[in-house]
Every structure is written in C-alpha cells, then in structure tokens.
C-alpha cells in the first residue's frame, strides 16, 4: 500500500501548479491537494495536520514547501517523505523582506496586476517560448487571491522561521527540486539546503526556473516517481 501524496501549492498559486503531476500520480496513488489556510506558516501547518491521513508523502512548492517543513517539524512521525520545490528553508533576509513591501502597497491601492508581475518577474523563469505562458498562468492563479490574501501570504513569507534544523533532524527521504534559472530561490541556496539534510537528494533542472512543475512537468513527474519508488525507477 503506497502512502497518500499531499500537495501544497506555492505562493499565490492554486491546484493548477501541480496539475500535471497530480493527474499522472493519481493513476496509482491517493492524491490530496491541500489549501493553505492561516496567517503564518505555523498556523497553516496546524490547520492541515488534523485533516491529513495518518501517514503521507508531502510535496510543497515555495510557500507550500515552507509549510511542508512546518508539518515535518510538528509531526515528523506522520511524514513518510518530503519533496521541496523552489523552497527556501532559511528566513527572509532583511533586504528581501523590504523588497516585498512595495508589492503590498501596489496591491492595496488596486494595482494588483503590477504586484503579481513583480512577484514573479520573467527573469525568474527559464527562457524560451513557454516563459510568457507560464507567467500568464501564474497571474491567473494569483489574481483571484485579492489584496487581502496577497498580503497574508506575503507576510507569511516575510515572517517564516529558519528551518535549517528541521532539515538536519529529518529522518525521512527528502528530495529538493530546483530550476537552474530561478533567481528568487537560487539553485545554490537550494543545494545548500540539501547538504543540511542527511537523507536529501538534490535535482536541478536546466529547463526550468522558479516554477518547475509548470515549466517542465514531465521532468518533475519523473523525479517524483523516483522519489516515491526509487527501486522501481532504477529497474
């Protein structure tokens, strides 16, 4: 019996972020798309834990990856394995937190489209014909959040805890997926995170930036299958 897979969406994203992966994996796994509810990452994790299966695999991107680390910290015996996509386990540096403030102002004064574009600049995605479509899909996902939810998720990013110790103490298999063109959470930073966890393996996709599950969905699905069933993937 395989463990259910819980997917946690990224910052300003909905279930479409992992659409390709959930479609493929749902053929032979129970798949759960969980929402992020709360004002801080700790609250989001606490809200989810009572409603999750007794034991599960956890996939999170960006903000969802931070919440995944919170769940791992709070309920390590229930987490079978963790996959972090474009996730920063370290807290916001002061300059990064400060750079988020103008986006909050834009959202408050009704310039939500500009705030969303600034949240995911084109340069954070892999170059090529798919870049514009990926950026447009991100805008479609982020737009309905509105200024209030935009601020909640941005504040959660600013106020997140340092999860280096969560990685160091982890006993379950951890997979970290980075995009080589990601300028928001650089591959170097994510590789450093992988070095903290004794059970971690690091993958960097040359075909992706900050949203690998959209930019190269087949590659991400293949990595997830290997992470879930390493012996079968090697056969």
pLDDT (0 to 100) of residue 232: 60
pLDDT tens digits, one per residue of 190-213: 999 999 999 999 999 999 999 999
pLDDT tens digits, one per residue of 1-12: 589 999 999 999
- The rounded distance, in Å, linking the Cα atoms of 206 and 134 is 16
- The rounded distance, in Å, linking the Cα atoms of 186 and 224 is 21
**pLDDT grade for 230, boundaries at 50, 70 and 90:** confident
pLDDT (0 to 100) of residue 1: 58
Bridge partner list, 32: 6
pLDDT tens digits, one per residue of 110-129: 999 999 999 999 999 999 99
3-state secondary structure of 67: helix
20: region left, alpha or beta (phi > 0 left; psi from -120 to 50 alpha): alpha
Contact indicator for 65, 7 with CB cutoff of 8 Å: no
Give the H or E element holding residue 105: helix 94-108
CA within 13 Å, CB half, 209: 18
Domains of the chain listed by start with CATH number? 5-90+162-234 (3.40.50.1820), 94-153 (no CATH)
- Which pTM was predicted? 0.95
């Amino acid at each position: 019996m395989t463990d259910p897979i819980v997917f946690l969406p990224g910052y300003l994203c909905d279930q479409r972020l992992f659409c390709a992966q959930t479609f493929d994996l749902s053929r032979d796994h129970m798949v759960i798309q969980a929402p992020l509810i709360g004002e801080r990452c700790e609250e989001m994790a606490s809200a989810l834990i009572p409603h999750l299966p007794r034991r599960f695999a956890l996939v999170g991107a960006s903000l969802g990856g931070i919440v995944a680390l919170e769940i791992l910290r709070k309920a390590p015996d229930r987490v079978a394995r963790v996959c972090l996509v474009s996730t920063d386990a370290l807290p916001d540096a002061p300059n990064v937190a400060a750079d988020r403030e103008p986006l909050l102002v834009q959202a408050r004064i009704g310039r939500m489209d500009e705030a969303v574009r600034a949240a995911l600049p084109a340069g954070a995605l892999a170059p090529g014909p798919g870049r514009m479509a990926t950026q447009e899909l991100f805008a479609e996902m982020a737009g309905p959040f509105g200024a209030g939810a935009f601020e909640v998720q941005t504040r959660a990013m600013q106020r997140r805890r340092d999860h280096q110790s969560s990685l160091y103490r982890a006993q379950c298999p951890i997979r970290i997926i980075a995009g080589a063109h990601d300028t928001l959470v650089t591959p170097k930073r994510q590789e450093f995170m992988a070095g903290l966890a004794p059970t971690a393996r690091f993958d960097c996709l040359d075909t992706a930036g900050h949203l690998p599950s959209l930019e190269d969905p087949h590659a991400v699905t293949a990595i997830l299958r290997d992470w879930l069933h390493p012996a079968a993937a090697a056969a």
